[in-house]
Amino acid sequence: MSTHKTDKELAFLHDLFVATDWGERFAQLVDEHIKLPGKGRALYVGSGTGGHAIALQERATSALKFLCIEETEEYLELARAKATAVKDPAEFRQGKVDQLELADNQFDFVIGDGSMADISRIPGMISEMVRVAKPGAMVAISLATAGSFGEFFSLYWEVLYNCGLHGHESNVEELITELLTTSELEGLAEHEGLEEVASWSRIEEFDFDTGERFLNSPLISDFLMNRWLEFIPEESQECIRQAIPGVVNDDRHEAEFILSVRATLVTGRKGRSH
């Protein structure tokens, strides 16, 4: 049975279970493909509980300073606490990822983590990241793209049927189709004025021994499931949660249940004439 958690509890769960596993998969893509500028100002949009942003600041030269924007105050508290242990810490500030209260053309590098953001906010997030970047600066964003979560979505129909919830086929279809393809993401970047757009994708797998462990994983239960249950009437959500483990166990046939995610990084440079 799900229980309501406070924002502070969710922040600790995010730091312990989401940032360390989910977040590191996306951070690794960034670390593999991005070379930080030697100096200037850098911006990290959607910095979460700060782990990757702090790692980038530590990796950077002393002449490159990171400003990190995060919406959730409880995440910021954890990030700032971590930053106090670092010799030359990044700055953490609260703000909306798709409405940055920052002037145009002031950052030499802009990175955004959209892996946990609502898909509908990604276009605005990219637009704002490009706006505040200097002409010629690299802008990069990471997120889960089309093809992610297919193993669960293919079972979701059966879960709904078992709970007597009919007529939601279009809602499940929307969960599948709302995820941006890599080409759509590249198109958004180009539309906002990025040049030399490039992308990298990698399939990441999250393994669960049982349906119960899948459902009770903080990544699933406290974060991803919230989006997957949005269209379900509140009085029926507990039935959905109780039905999921059995359906997952029937599907996995004594093997592990694997949830695959297509982690994607898109980069580009802001046009000089933008």
Looking at domain 7-270, what is its CATH homologous superfamily?
A: Vaccinia Virus protein VP39 (3.40.50.150)
Any idea where the domains of the chain sit in the sequence? 7-270
Average pLDDT taken over every residue of the chain: 95
- The secondary structure element, H or E, covering residue 247 is helix 237-252
pTM of the model as a whole: 0.94
In order, the DSSP letters of 67-104 are EEEES-HHHHHHHHHHHTTSSSPPEEEE-BTTB--S-S
Q: Do 133 and 270 touch, CB atoms closer than 8 A?
A: yes
116-169 per-position pLDDT tens digit: 999 999 999 999 999 999 999 999 999 999 999 999 999 999 999 999 998 898
Start-to-end CA span in the chain (Å): 52
Q: CA 185, 186, 192, 197 torsion: positive or negative?
A: positive
* % pLDDT > 70, the chain: 99
Q: Do the strands 107-113 and 91-94 form a parallel or antiparallel pair, or are they unpaired? A: unpaired
Confidence of residue 1 (pLDDT cuts 50, 70, 90): very low
